[in-house]
Amino acid sequence: MKKRTFLKIAGVSLASYVLVPHFGCKNPTQKKDSKQTMLPPFTLPDLPYDYNALETNIDARTMEIHHSKHHAGYVKKLSAAVAGSAFAGMSLEEVFPKLTMDDDGVRNNGGGHFNHSLFWKNMSPAGKGKPEGDLLSAIQTTFGDFETFRKLYWKEAKTVFGSGWAWLCKDSENKLFITSTPNQDNPLMTKLVEKTGTPLLALDVWEHAYYLKYQNRRGDYIDSFFNVINWDEVSRRFNE
């Protein structure tokens, strides 16, 4: 091969690598923005930390399977479900309020993609245990104090029957409330769930989220989740 031809090929492949960072890229400056992954074509967001970063609260094996198999599966099936449907080309935020009982594929996989994307971001190895500022004030106004909020959220998550999610949300007047949804539903699916609002904090209580380490002890898993909540991110969403 002539030197010039080689440089041309090398240049092209280097350029495409830089423009489209592949999954698993370790360079934090090239992590996919999770907002972008909610727009078609839907893609799996990189975790904002390594699989083992939440040890010993959430084990690396669970994180790896949960992200690279479960979440990746929802993304793949979502793309197939929206292709050729009335939802093609829409962002998930546009899709959710339109969903009805007849939209199973987009409902389950769109919820799966959105909910997990939120869940990864509202955890951090640098979790501080307690919120501050405006969010803490709002929690105190609504629930009395942080400990009471913690107990109510814990109970909501513990008592989800079967698979689902526990949520801290804000309503249209910025008032906080706790709710839960079955399966992969979320509070943005206004025609499908009891209480609707903007999700601030998401907790996955499907068994796949904790069974390897905690088996049937969902309560212990919820306790551990509270050790790794990224309250800065929850506050950012509250103030948005």
Q: Which residues bind Mn ion (CB under 5 A)?
A: 204, 206, 209
CB of 230 to Mn ion, least distance (A): 17
Q: Nearest approach, Cβ of 113 to Mn ion (angstroms)?
A: 11
Compare residues 156 and 170 and give the one whose CB is closer to Mn ion.
156
> In the bound complex, what is the minimum distance in angstroms from residue 158's beta carbon to Mn ion?
17
Specify the residue, 117 or 235, whose C-beta has the smaller distance to Mn ion. Answer: 117
Q: For 167, list phi and psi in degrees, rounded to 5.
A: -130, 145
Residue nearest to Mn ion (CB): 204
Both structure tokens of 227: 């050790």
The half-sphere exposure of 11 on its side-chain side, counting CA atoms within 13 A, is: 6
Q: Least distance in Å: CB of 104 to Mn ion?
A: 18
> Which is closer to Mn ion, CB of 107 or CB of 170?
107
Give the integer Cα–Cα distance in Å for 168 and 84: 34
The residues near 184 (Cβ < 8 Å, ≥ 6 apart) are 74, 107, 108, 109, 110, 111, 112, 115, 165
Q: Which residues of 112-133 are buried (b: 16+ CB within 10 A; e: fewer)?
A: bbbbbbbbbbbbbeebeeebee
The first and second tokens of residue 21, run together, are 């960072």
Q: Which is nearer to Mn ion, 119 or 149 (CB)?
A: 119
